[in-house]
Amino acid sequence: MRAGAAGAALLALAAATACGSSSRLAHSVSTPAPAAASAAASPSPTSTSSSSPPASVRPGFAVSDVSFVSAQRGWVLGAGQLLTTDDGALSWTALPAPPAGVTHLRFATSSDGYAWSTGGALWLTTDGAASWQPGQLGQVLSLETASGWVWAIAGPQPYPDVWRAPVGSTVWTNLGFTPDRSATLLVHGPTAYVAGQEGAGPIPPSVEVYTGTQAGRHLAVPCPASLPVPYAQLGASTGGSLVLICDVQGQPAQYDLAYVSTDGGSSWTAITAPPAWSNGVTAITGKRFSWNGNVLVSSGEAWTVALAGPPGGFSLVGFETDQQGIALSAGGALWITRDGGSTWSRVSFAE
């Protein structure tokens, strides 16, 4: 059985499905408790001001996270350095350093962005990374933005909470525990899908669906209850359909099951599962992608290798449009496709 480390990485990218779209802190700020995060943040002396000029891109820059808000505008984070592109990854500019210790980032707009580490606090910028302020959440496992909202899974495991706030705000609404045990986060348009993993009992995986400010809607997933399925990978296509892979415990990957839904998870149709264990799944019009050691692609039944993996394989694949997408390796290398995954180019960060 595959380890469940893919949970937090399932959709750690604003560009991941065109849906929108962790511990030392600067000044030794203590991590705010998630339960206290429902109040608005007042101006804080712990805000970081990036007054120093941007540094040059370091040789051998390795990416820990990536976020795009359009096909042209994006950011990459790695080893305390933040870079941005305005031309779809053809060239990069180094920005002032982000808050110390952050390893993840997500931008909602060219001005509003978030940075965090899973063991630390959340940081917010509203001026395009010129300065950062506390985002009033701690122990953030995942965060995604779309349609003017930001969604987060944060708090102590194995049952963290689901949180929602308007983009740029530090006033968070607690929506309750994640379903089952732990969870992954998928956002498409105004809807957030929180896919819970197997709970004690065992309780099979399920999905909690939130749209805007509506109450959550609990959905069962189509993984057969007669099979042990501790992990279910959920992704969305650029058109909004959902793709689900059920990882059958104790069986080779060819025994995994896969499904697609075109009605937000209310009904599912079985499809051919990838022939290798999946760290995640996403889709564009006419194609589905799964990744682990390699990036695999399917236009119907068979799955083939779209991008051969480096040592350690891939941690993240996502598409901002039906044509443009990225693939991030576990070692910090980044690839980009501009033809819907038919060909891929290694991204260079040299200035």
- CB count in 10 Å sphere of residue 312: 12
- When pLDDT is cut at 50, 70 and 90, the band that residue 225 belongs to is confident
Q: Looking at residues 250-269, what average pLDDT do you find?
A: 86
Q: Looking at residues 202-217, what average pLDDT do you find?
A: 82
The predicted structure's pLDDT at residue 197: 74
- AA identity, residue 199: G
Least confident of 139-143, 158-162, 249-253, 274-278: 249-253
Q: Looking at residues 53-61, what average pLDDT do you find?
A: 65
The pLDDT tens digits for 73-90 are: 999 999 889 999 999 999
Q: Looking at residues 295-307, what average pLDDT do you find?
A: 94
- Report pTM: 0.82
Of all residues in the chain, what percent carry a pLDDT higher than 70? 80
Whole-number Å distance between alpha carbons of 259 and 230: 16
> Looking at the DSSP assignment, which residues form a beta bridge with residue 20?
none
Of all residues in the chain, what percent carry a pLDDT higher than 90? 58
Taking CB atoms within 8 Å and a gap of at least 24, the contacts of 336-341 are 336/88, 336/89, 338/88, 340/284, 340/286, 340/287, 341/284, 341/287, 341/289, 341/295, 341/297, 341/306, 341/307
Whole-number Å distance between alpha carbons of 161 and 23: 19
The predicted structure's pLDDT at residue 270: 95
- When pLDDT is cut at 50, 70 and 90, the band that residue 11 belongs to is very low
Q: Looking at residues 279-283, what average pLDDT do you find?
A: 94
Whole-number Å distance between alpha carbons of 105 and 124: 10
The pLDDT tens digits for 319-339 are: 999 999 999 999 999 999 999
Q: Looking at residues 174-194, what average pLDDT do you find?
A: 87
Q: Looking at residues 166-188, what average pLDDT do you find?
A: 88
- CB count in 10 Å sphere of residue 339: 11
